[in-house]
Amino acid sequence: MRSSRKNHIAGVSLEPHVLAYLDDLAIRMRMNRSWVLNTIVHEYARFIEKKHLSPLATHIAHTVGMSVTAQAGSNDGLIIEA
């Protein structure tokens, strides 16, 4: 049976310090790694390349009750406010 899910599973190799940071972000954001990586790519495309890959509605739906913002030039990157 074929799934109607539109996401694709991708295997990637991450450097140990990148994986540690990704895990830390996922814990702080209370989301999984996939959500964090997808959000980082969407935000990079939007803020750096001025491209909109697709609406982030699925990402926004997962952050009900939280405000997620990116600060340009910040060492912390994303700020999460509950």
Strands (E), 1-82: 67-70, 78-81
**Residue 60: strand, helix, or coil:** helix
How far apart (Å, rounded) are the C-alpha atoms in residues 50 and 80?
22
**Residue 68: strand, helix, or coil:** strand
User: 26-73: per-residue pLDDT in tens?
Assistant: 999 999 999 999 999 999 998 888 888 776 555 554 444 444 444 444
> What residue spans define the domains of the chain?
16-81
- What pLDDT does residue 50 have? 84
**Which residues, other chains included, contact 72 with Cβ-Cβ below 8 Å and sequence gap of 6+?**
47
Count CA atoms within 13 Å of residue 27 on its CB side.
6
Angstrom distances, CA of residue 49 to CA of 1, 40, 54: 38, 13, 14
Q: Is residue 20's pLDDT more than 80?
A: yes
pTM flag (> 0.85)? no
